[in-house]
Every structure is written in C-alpha cells, then in structure tokens.
Amino acid sequence: MKKAVYPGSFDPITYGHIDIIQRMQPIFDEVIVLVSTSPQKKYLFTAKERQDMIQESLKNACPGISVDTHDGLTVEYVRAHGASVIVRGLRAVVDFEYEMVMANMNKKLAQEIETMIVFAKPEYYYISSNTIKEVTRYGADVTSLVPPPVIIALKEKNLILNKNKIF
Ligand code: ADP
C-alpha cells in the first residue's frame, strides 16, 4: 500500500493546494494532508481550524483524503503512519531552495522516505496562503482562489468585512 503525506501550513488551504491533492490521489492508495505547526511561524488559524477547513473543503472535491495535525518532525509522522513519500508543491524559483533544503534534510533524517515535488499548475502558481490573507485584508475578492469554507472562515476572522461593518 503506497501512502503519501502532504505536509504544509495550509493557513488557509487554497485551490493551489487542492489541485496538488487531487493530482496525487490517483497515484497513491492513501494521501494524508498534514497540517503542521512550527514554533517559528505565526498563523492566522489554529491547527484545528485549518484541519476543519481542509476537511470541509475536500469533502466534495476529493472524498477519502484524511487530514491530520502534527507539531513535530514530518519524517517522524510519515514513519509512524507507514507512509513512504512526502509530497510538496513547487510554484516558482523562489520555492526551490527551501524545498531542496527540506527534501535533503528529510533524506538525511530518514533514508527510506522520498520527497516528491509536484509543479503547480500555471493557473495556480501565483496563489499562496500569505497572498490570500494580504489581499483579503484590503477587500479583494478571493472567491475564485479559495474554497467556500475558507471564505466563511476569513469572514469569521473579520478579514472579509461584512458590508454593514465597512459603512
Ligand atoms: P509551508 O509553510 O509548509 O510551505 P504551505 O501551506 O505554504 O506550507 O505550502 C504547503 C506546500 O504546498 C508547499 O510545498 C508549497 O510549495 C505548496 N503550495 C502552496 N501553494 C501552492 C500552489 N498554489 N500550487 C501548488 N503548490 C502550492
């Protein structure tokens, strides 16, 4: 049974992430989306909020995907869950160095685990969770970039202001 883990911050999940998940689903018997938490990063959403948003967003788009949270080494999670592949997405050259360093570090820590890099689709390569949060704060419409549960969650965080709050 070929199991893959797709780790990330997913703060919040975007259609770029979902595209990677959908493309990986037919390749593996099981794909686990892993919401990671790093002490060096600041998140808008808690790990539980991010997990719930992903579960809700994937319910129709790709049923059968499990979503978990973890705050330690990714390779430890991958090992403990009997997976052999870490999936990561690559958008532009700026992603490359970070992904290469992480892949090599993970290889050093766990020889038996491979990192698989998947190129973002051209229509999604410019979408990042940070950009979503940034443009949303200035009132941009992101409904074509993130799934409906994320729009609801952004509204709950007051990042998308209700009309009656603006005026
Ligand atoms: P992290 O903080 O671990 O980079 P992210 O949620 O930002 O978490 O990204 C998780 C993974 O998904 C990374 O490998 C990233 O390059 C990839 N990714 C993010 N946005 C996109 C996108 N629009 N298209 C394809 N891959 C993406």
The tens digit of pLDDT for each residue in 54-75 reads: 999 999 888 889 999 999 999 9
pLDDT of residue 167: 33
- According to the model, what pLDDT value does residue 161 have? 59
Closest atom of ligand 1 to CA, residue 87: 14
116 CA to centre of own chain: 15
Spatial separation of the C-alpha atoms in residues 55 and 122, rounded to whole Å? 25
pLDDT higher than 80, residue 159: no
Helix, strand and coil percent figures for the chain, each rounded to 5? 45, 20, 40
The helix (H) or strand (E) run that includes residue 90 is strand 85-90
Q: Which atom of ligand 1 is nearest to the CA of 41?
A: 2
Active site residues: 17, 41, 91, 129
Residue 143 has pLDDT above 90, yes or no: yes
Is the CB of 12 within 6 Å of ligand 1? no
Q: Which pLDDT score, from 0 to 100, does residue 165 have? A: 44
Probe ligand 1: pick from 9, 13, 17, 18, max atoms within 8 Å of CB?
Answer: 17
Residues 87, 5 contacting (CB under 8 angstroms): yes
